Amino acid sequence: MFSEYFLGATMRAISTIDRAAIEAVATTLAKVRDGGGRLFLLGVGGSAGHASHATNDFRKICGFEAYCPTDNVSELTARINDEGWEGVFSTWLESSRLNAKDGLLIFSVGGGSLEPPVSANLVRAMQYAKEKGASVTGIVGRDGGFTAKIADACVIVPTVDPQLITPIVEGLAATVWHLLVSHPALSRSKGHWEQIAPAAISVAAE
């Protein structure tokens, strides 16, 4: 049964994710926020959706000043048209006056590479961040790609089945970022349902 196989593979990946790497990302992100820095969340494809969703969570739950460049499709497509795909994020960060207090959080299945050019826009953004002294963190898959090589802290979702790399990495990336926004080092408020749950339980028990 495929459902059992898929969930089993997901559980194997969860069981082997490096917990210390998650803690290191949490610590690095906390330093950004507590030091007055901003957080920029980057991803392409499905990971762009993750970056957008996670931006909301880091702002609302953790009190970050956080931004996601793919949320503004007008600026994104203008930069692609005028400056090219590879430079779309690095030039956006330049316009945002990225500085050493700030941080990047990268979502990517492969982590990005220049040779062969895969998610090269993420690579250019990370290179620019390093030039400015900003921190780089990531939640990625496969061998971690460029993100794992350059990041201050990086979580790699392990490959447990070469036929299920993308769905498992993207699925567990959401799990990891929800872990992070719930982490005591980062969380400043509870989500909506966590706030109302005790009252609902009390009513149900009466």
Three-class DSSP labels, the chain: CHHHHHHHHHHHHHHHCCHHHHHHHHHHHHHHHHCCCCEEEECCCHHHHHHHHHHHHHHHCCCCCEECHHHCHHHHHHHHHHHCCCCHHHHHHHHCCCCCCCEEEEEECCCCECCCCECHHHHHHHHHHHHHCCEEEEEECCCCHHHHHHCCEEEECCCCCCCCHHHHHHHHHHHHHHHHHHCCCCCCCCCHHHHHHHHHHHHHHC
- Residue 161's pLDDT band, with cuts at 50, 70 and 90, is very high
In this structure, is the dihedral angle defined by the CA atoms of residues 15, 20, 25 and 29, taken in order, positive or negative? positive
pLDDT value for 83: 86
pLDDT-based confidence at 195, cuts 50/70/90? confident
Report which of 154, 100, 97, 147 is spatially closest to residue 122, judged by C-alpha positions: 147
pLDDT at 130: 98
For the stretch 32-72, pLDDT in tens is 999 999 999 999 999 999 999 999 999 999 999 999 999 99
Q: Is the backbone of residue 144 left (phi > 0), alpha (psi -120 to 50) or beta? A: left
Predicted confidence at residue 205, as pLDDT, reads 47
pLDDT of residue 172: 98
Q: What is the pLDDT of residues 119-153, one digit of tens each?
A: 999 999 999 999 999 999 999 999 999 999 999 99
Determine contact, residues 33/186, Cβ cutoff 8 Å. Answer: yes
Q: Is residue 77 scored above 50 in pLDDT? A: yes
pTM above 0.75, yes or no: yes
Average pLDDT, the chain: 94
In whole angstroms, give the CA distance from residue 152 to residue 138. 9
Instruction: Tell me the mean pLDDT in the region 184-203.
Output: 76
Task: Using alpha carbons, list the distances in angstroms from residue 135 to 27, 98, 125, 156, 168.
Answer: 11, 11, 12, 17, 26
The dihedral built from the CA positions of residue 90, 156, 48 and 24, taken in this order, carries a sign that is: negative
Whether the predicted pLDDT of 2 surpasses 80 = yes
Sorting pLDDT into bands at 50, 70 and 90, what band is 193?
confident
